[in-house]
């Protein structure tokens, strides 16, 4: 779910940074908009570092004419791209401007173009909160169906004690996250997902494998289940708890994974091959441990089954999503894989850099689609990347159906 976080100009703006993090911890994607007044309390850099995204501060760009033209309609695209709008802190001034439709900056202009749920979290001095003008503005906004998360009692920055403190970030994040519980766009789908590495034995105690942790595949399984799908997760050896509500099948080798995939292929409508399957294996594994000697040893390895290529030949009208881990030529490698394996989408990861890819909690990727589109996914938690992948899966399904 995409969340537009508008930050008003009050001392409570520092709590909005905590709110941005709390929203992301719940698997939500956050786009921050700062008012001019908010920037006097907290910098755009703070939110950019937390969310990994550009922070919007102005209605119009001041650089090139091309940027100005893009910025002039950006509030429309931002309104369309987000599912929930939350304003925290919502100052007395912001509440008044929203209530009467004033549109003189990016946040208020976007508000008028936004058609989804709106959450307002007021924060202000107790007397300002109790003033009839503020209460009348709140009544107007409530009648529009907006959710008002009322401020808490406590010691305020002005020294007074009473209602006016911004609600705690975790409480706000729970309210926002709950608005997305009805999004079940994968209802009726059966999603078959492979995750983790495979282990190809060399003898009873040694094996060939890779650094895949399975975190991306497990995030995909969690997100697919939450969006209404029945999920079959075929997992190589990982140290992760089983996602709730999924059918989990544990395997070790590429051959075992291949057999499990085709055993469940008939029931699948979407296939996501995120596993890092070993490319080679020892076809004849010794029954006993190979003893170390002073002489050099050579191994003759055979290719493992190409599960993705075989699925591409047999997928029928199912959507097939492949993954490509590359160290260079990211998009070109993904496009080649898309075409050679008959995929509908390839998720390309640039591995070998700090903080993303194998073993990490974050990822960044490029989606290469059979429609010819190439969509970059900026660095974000893997659960967020999983949500973005399924967003594009559903758009791709609609596009393919429309073309038929």
Q: Which of 57, 61, 53 is nearest to 43 (CA)?
A: 57
Q: Are residues 195 and 160 in the same domain?
A: no
Tens of pLDDT along 228-251?
999 999 999 999 988 888 999 999
343 is catalytic: no
**334 and 387 in a common domain:** yes
Which of 30-44, 157-171, 285-299 has the highest average model confidence (pLDDT)?
A: 30-44
pLDDT score at 163: 77
Average pLDDT taken over every residue of the chain:
88
Task: Give the N- to C-terminal CA distance of the chain in Å, as an integer.
Answer: 29
Catalytic residue among 73, 157, 158, 242: 158
Residues 50 and 127 in one domain: yes
Instruction: Give the closest residue to 368 by CA, choosing from 318, 320, 306.
Output: 320
Task: Count up the domains in the chain and report the number.
Answer: 2
Please tell me whether residues 238 and 347 are part of one structural domain: yes
Residue 194 clears pLDDT 90, i.e. is over it: yes
pLDDT of residue 294: 85
Answer whether residue 150 shows pLDDT above 90. Answer: no
C-alpha distances (whole Å) from 314 to each of 140, 234, 275, 334, 338 are 57, 18, 19, 20, 15
Cα-Cα-Cα-Cα torsion 358, 360, 364, 370, nearest 10 degrees, comes to 40
In sequence order, which residues have a C-beta less than 8 Å from that of residue 391 and are 6 or more positions away? none
- Of residues 385 and 100, more confidence is placed in 100
In a domain, 285, yes or no: no
Helix, strand, coil proportions of the chain in percent (round to 5)? 35, 25, 40
Structure tokens that stand for 294 in this block: 């002073």
Is residue 125, in this structure, part of any structural domain at all? yes
Task: Please identify which residue in the block is written with the tokens 């290529």.
Answer: 309
Is the separation of the CB atoms in 321 and 271 below 8 Å?
A: yes
244 and 148 housed in the same domain = no
Same domain, yes or no: 270 and 158: no
pLDDT of residue 27: 82
Which residue range(s) make up the domain with 153?
A: 2-178
Q: For residue 329, give the nearest of 279, 368, 384, 370 by alpha carbon.
A: 368
The 3-state DSSP class for residue 136 equals helix
Q: Which of 17-21, 25-29, 325-329 has the highest mean pLDDT?
A: 17-21
Q: At what angle do helices 132-143 and 92-99 cross, to 10 degrees?
A: 50
Considering the domain architecture, whether residues 256 and 118 belong to the same structural domain is answered as no
* 79 shares its domain with 196: no
- What is the pLDDT, as a whole number, of residue 229? 94
Same domain, 53 and 78: yes
Helices (H) and strands (E) in the chain, counts: 14, 19
- Res 73: pLDDT: 59
Rounded (10°) CA dihedral 267, 396, 390, 345: 80
- CATH number, domain at 325? 3.40.50.10300
Longest dimension (CA), the chain: 89
Same structural domain, 170 and 216 = no
Q: Report how far residue 404's alpha carbon sits from residue 151's, in angstroms, rounded to the nearest whole number.
A: 53
Residue 292 lies in a domain: no
Instruction: Identify which of 61, 86, 322 has the alpha carbon closest to the alpha carbon of residue 193.
Output: 322
**Residue 290 belongs to some domain of the structure:** no
Domain assignment of residue 110, yes or no: yes
Show which of 141, 157, 178 is a domain's final residue. 178
* Interaxial angle between packed helices 382-403 and 215-226, expressed in degrees from 0 to 180 and rounded to the nearest 10: 60
Asked if 129 and 216 sit in the same domain, the reply is no
Which of 119, 145, 178 corresponds to the end of one domain?
178
Decide which of 145, 178, 211 is a domain's last residue. 178
The answer to whether position 291 is within a domain reads no
Q: What is the mean pLDDT of residues 252-265?
A: 97
Same domain, 347 and 198: yes
Q: Does residue 239 fall inside a structural domain?
A: yes
Share of residues in the chain with pLDDT > 90 (%):
59
- Tell whether 199 is covered by a domain: yes
Query: How far is Cα 4 from Cα 31, in angstroms, rounded to an integer?
Result: 5
């Amino acid at each position: 779910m995409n969340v537009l976080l508008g930050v008003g100009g009050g001392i409570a703006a520092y709590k909005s940074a905590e709110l941005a993090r709390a929203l992301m911890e719940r698997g939500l994607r956050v786009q921050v908009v700062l008012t001019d007044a908010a920037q006097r309390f907290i910098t755009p850099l703070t939110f950019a570092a937390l969310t990994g995204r550009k922070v919007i501060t102005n209605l119009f760009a001041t650089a090139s004419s091309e940027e100005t033209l893009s910025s002039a309609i950006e509030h429309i695209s931002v309104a369309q791209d987000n599912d929930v709008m939350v304003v925290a802190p919502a100052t007395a001034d912001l509440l008044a401007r929203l209530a009467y439709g004033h549109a003189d900056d990016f946040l208020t202009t976007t508000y008028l173009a936004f058609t989804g749920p709106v959450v307002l979290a007021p924060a202000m001095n107790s007397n300002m909160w109790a003033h009839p003008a503020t209460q009348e503005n709140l009544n107007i906004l409530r009648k529009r169906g907006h959710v008002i998360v009322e401020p808490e009692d406590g010691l305020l920055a002005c020294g007074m004690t009473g209602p006016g403190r911004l609600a705690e970030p975790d409480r706000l994040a729970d309210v926002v996250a709950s608005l997305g519980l009805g999004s079940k766009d994968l209802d009726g789908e059966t999603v078959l997902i492979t995750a983790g590495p495979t282990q190809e034995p060399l003898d009873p105690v040694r094996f060939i494998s890779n650094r895949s942790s399975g975190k991306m595949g497990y995030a995909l399984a969690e997100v697919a289940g939450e969006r209404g799908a029945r999920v079959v997760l075929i997992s190589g050896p990982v140290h992760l708890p089983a996602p709730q509500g999924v059918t989990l099948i544990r395997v070790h080798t590429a051959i075992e994974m291949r057999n499990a995939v085709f055993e469940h292929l008939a029931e699948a409508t979407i296939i996501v091959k995120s596993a890092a399957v070993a490319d080679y294996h020892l076809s004849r594994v010794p029954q006993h441990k190979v003893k170390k000697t002073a002489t050099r040893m050579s191994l003759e390895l055979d290719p493992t089954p190409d599960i993705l290529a075989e699925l591409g030949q047999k997928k029928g009208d199912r959507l097939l999503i492949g993954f490509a881990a590359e160290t260079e030529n990211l998009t070109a490698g993904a496009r080649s894989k898309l075409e050679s394996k008959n995929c509908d989408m390839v998720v390309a990861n640039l591995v070998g850099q700090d903080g993303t890819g194998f073993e990490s909690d974050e990822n960044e990727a490029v989606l290469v689609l059979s429609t010819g589109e190439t969509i970059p996914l900026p660095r974000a938690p893997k659960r967020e990347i999983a949500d973005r992948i399924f967003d594009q899966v559903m758009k791709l399904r609609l596009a393919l159906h429309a073309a038929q």
